[in-house]
A = this chain, B = another copy of it.
Amino acid sequence: MAEAATTRRSRITPEREAELYEAVLDLLREVGYDALTMDAVATRTRSSKATLYRQWGSKPELIARALRHSKPASLADIDTGSLRGDLNEMVARSDDCQMERDAALMRGLFHAVHDNPELHRALRDLLIEPELTGLSDLLRRAVERGEVAADNPALDYVVHMMVGGFVARDLVEDRPVDRAFLASYIDAVILPALGV
């Protein structure tokens, strides 16, 4: 199966493939999953629908591939020496524009992932897991330094708090999430919940 897929895709250049995935993600942010049609992808990328179906088989497969092609954020090398420093460095890594783009991607997929395990997995690998892994490293070091008690129950919910900050501002305040907001959310919510 994997080999067949590689053979199919090898008909276009890697540059063309990257360009096409970027266009798919742009469309996804603009119109959301359901309204994203293969027709729209064909028009935007000046491809034929036949080519798209031949190369990717189906819309969910194409979108999952595009998500997987996007580079996940790396938090692995953040180590400032304090939990507050690490969390703030994490926020400082994305500019406001990238943050709004990630939030748009999440919004566009929120419903679709519920019914589509393959897409859910791809979104999780791209946006959720790197954050989970990066966060658990930061948190482990904070526990080792004695900043956070090893049995603090909020340790299990840091991602939930982050997702809340990430999506709720738009929903509740009708304003896009940005670095200044997340920095104050970290100080007001995440650090106090962890007892820091």
| A binding-site residues for B, Cβ under 8 Å | 31-35, 104, 106-108, 110-114, 120, 124, 128, 132, 153-154, 156-157, 159-165, 167-172, 174, 184-185, 187-190, 192-195
Contact = CB atoms under 8 A, between A and B. Distances in A.
A112 B160 contact: no
Contact of A172 (B107, B163, B168, B188): B163
A183 B114 CA distance: 24
Contacts of A34: 31-35
Contacts of A32: 33-34, 111-112
B111 A154 contact: no
Nearest to A132: B172
Contact of A154 (B31, B192, B195): B192
A49 B188 CA distance: 50
A195 B34 CA distance: 43
Find the residue from A31, A113, A153, A193 having the highest chain B CB count within 10 A.
Answer: A193
B168 A159 contact: yes
Contact of A171 (B31, B113, B157, B170): B113
A182 to B, nearest CB: 11
